[in-house]
Chains A and B, each alone.
Chain A
Amino acid sequence: MNRSSESSMGNFKSYMQRHWGLYAMLILPIGFFVIFSYLPMINLLIAFMTNNIFIPITTAPWERWVGLANFRWALDNIQFRQAVSNTLMFSFLDLVIGFPMPIILALLLNELKFKVFKRVTQTISYMPFFLSWILVGGLMLRLFQTQTGAVNNIFMNIGFGPVPFLTSSNHWIFTNVFTAIWRGLGWNTIIYLAAITAVNPELYEAAEMDGATRLKKMWHVTLPGIRPVIVTLLILTLGGIMGADMARFLATENHLVRDASTVLPIFVFRWGLEGAQYHRAAAVGLIASVINLIILFSANFTSRKITGNGLW
C-alpha cells in the first residue's frame, strides 16, 4: 500500500519533469479562454436579473433575481419578434439563394478548359472577400444610390428607374442578400474545388465509357463526390440560422430600412449598448445562441443518421 503510493508519487514526479514545460506554455492560452470565453458566461446571469435602476447594483444577486421576466419581456416585444423574423428571413434567403451558388461556380470552374484564364478568374473572384464589410457597404452606396449610384445612372440613361435599391425595404433586402453572395462567392468555391480534386478520376472514366454527357458527369460523379463537404457546410450554416453576420448589417443598413435590417445581433446592440437595457438584451442574445446550439446539434444528429457525415 505504502509502496504503491510511493511509486505513483514517483511516476507523477517523472511525468511532471517531462511535461511541466507544456503546462507552462498552456498557462497563457488557458488564461485567455477563461477570461475572454468563460468569464463572460457568468455575466449571462444578468439575463435573469432586474434592470431596475432604482435597485442599486450593489444589492446581492439573489435579491435582483427575476427569473424569466426578461425573456417574457422579449417574447412580448413586437420589435423582438420583428428581429426574429428578419433574422430567419435573411438566413432563409442566404440558404436558398446563397448556399448553392458557390457549388455551381465550383462545378463550372472545374469544367473550365483554359487553365490560365481559370487561375485569373479565381484570383479576381476572391477579391471581394478581402474587402471589409465597411468597404463593401461603401461600394454598395456608389453602385445603388438612387441619386448618383452607377446602376441607377445606367438605368436612367436607358429610360428606366430609378430603382430604390437602398431606400425601400423590399429592394434593400435583395440588394443586401446578393451583395453578401457576391462577397463570399469566389472564396466559398475554394473548399468545394479542393474536394473536387479529391474525386476519383476512374469514376469519370467509367461514366465516359457509359456515354455520360458532361452535365450527367457533373450530376452523377462530381456532386456525389463532394457531398460530405456540402453536408458539413450545410450543418454549419443551419447552426447559424438564428444569428447573422453583424458586420454585414451594420455596414449596409440605413435608417430608411431599419424595419428590415434589424436582425437579432443588431437588436441586441441597439437595446443593449445604445439603450443600456443590458439585462433584456443579454436575455435576447442568450435565446438566439441557445437556439443556434440546439439546431446545430440536431442538424448534426440528423445528418449522421441519414448520410453518415457530420461535424463530430
Chain B
Amino acid sequence: MRKKGKLKRATIGDWIIVFVMILLILTCILPIMTVVATSLSDPTAVMRRDVTFLPVGFNITAYVDVINDSRFMWSLAWTAIITLIAVVVNLAMTVLCAYPLTYDSLKGRKIITVLIIFTMYFGAGLIPTFILFRTLGLLDNPAVLILPGMISVFFMIIMRNFFIGIPESLKESAEMDGAGPLTCLVKIYLPLSTPVLATIGLFYAVGRWNGFMDALFFLPSASEYHPIQLLLYNILQNITAIDPMDPGDVAQPGMGTVTESAAIVIAMVPILCVYPFVQKYFVSGVTLGAVKG
C-alpha cells in the first residue's frame, strides 16, 4: 500500500518543495561564490560594485600575497599540527573516561558519572577559568589549546553508550581467560568501535580546526601560537593584515577586501574539501547522541 503511494506522480506540492530546496541550496552556495569571486577580482572592479557572484578582471595577486605571507602559512601548518594532536589526545582521554563507566560493578560509578554530567550544565565561566590558567602557567602556553578540551562530556557519553551496546558475553569470555580490563578494551572494544571512534575523532578535529576563542583568551601575547581562525579574525577586524608582495598595493583601494577574501577562501578550502566525506559520520554521531542522549 505504501509502495503504491510512492509511485504516484509528482504533484504541484512536490514541485513547491523542490523549489524551496533549490532556494536553500542557493543560499548555501552563493555566499561562497561571492567570496571566491571577490578574491579573484580586480580591486577596482570590487570598488565599482561590479562583483557579485562571478570574478571581474580576473587576477590572482591576492593569493600570491597570502601564500607568501609566512605568518599566514605558518598559522595554517600550526593549526594542522594542533588538530592532529588534539584528535589523538582527546580520543585517548575520552576512551579512558568512557570505558570504566560501563562497568556496573564499579563502585563509585554513579557519583562519578553525575559529577561529570553536572559539568555539562554548569561551568565556572570565563573569568574563574582565566585566573586558574594564570595560576597554572597556562597563559601564553601552547598547551592551553589542547589540555582544557581533552574530554567533551557529550562525546564521552556517546562513546560510553556505544560501548554498552557491545554484547557483554564477549568481555565475559575474555575475562574467563584471565584478561584484565585494559586487554578487553584494546582487544575487544576498540576494534569493534571504529565507526564511533572515527565520528568522535572528526568532531574533535573540526572543533579544533574551527576554534579560536581559547587562543583569543589565553594566548594574548603568544601570536606565534595563534590558530588560523584567530589570525583570520584579526585580519577581518583590521587588527593585522596580510603583507602584500608589492608594497604599492597597500594604497590601492579595494585591495584589502580582495586579500581578505583570498585569506577567507584559503582558510575555508580544507574544511570544504573534507566535509562531504565526513558528514555521514557526523550524521551518525548526532543520531547516536539522540537515541540515548
Contacts and interface: CB of A to CB of B under 8 A. Distances in A.
A154 B99 CA distance: 56
A135 B232 contact: yes
A272 B97 contact: no
B86 to A, nearest CB: 14
B112 A30 contact: yes
Interface string A173-205: 000000000100111001100110000010011
Contacts of A33: 115-116, 119, 151
Interface stretch (B49-57, B58-66, B162-170, B240-248): B49-57
Interface residues of A, number: 94
Interface string A118-144: 001101111110111111011101110
Interface stretch (A34-42, A73-81, A164-172, A302-310): A34-42
A260 B6 CA distance: 49
Interface in B109-137: 112, 115-116, 119, 121-132, 136
B23 to A, nearest CB: 11
B290 A23 contact: no
Interface string B20-49: 110011011111101100100000001101
Nearest to B263: A138
6 contacts: A112-B18, A134-B267, A141-B260, A148-B51, A273-B130, A278-B130
Contacts of B222: none
A233 to B, nearest CB: 10
A150 B52 contact: yes
A152 B52 CA distance: 9
Q: Which 5 A-B pairs have the closest CB atoms?
A: A43-B128, A29-B97, A132-B210, A40-B124, A285-B125
Contact of B32 (A23, A44, A132, A139): A139
Nearest to A247: B213
B62 to A, nearest CB: 13
Contact of A130 (B96, B122, B131, B275): B275
A293 B211 CA distance: 25
A33 B24 CA distance: 41
A190 B287 contact: yes
A33 B51 CA distance: 51
B181 A22 contact: yes
B236 A141 contact: yes
A163 interface: no
A121 B257 contact: no
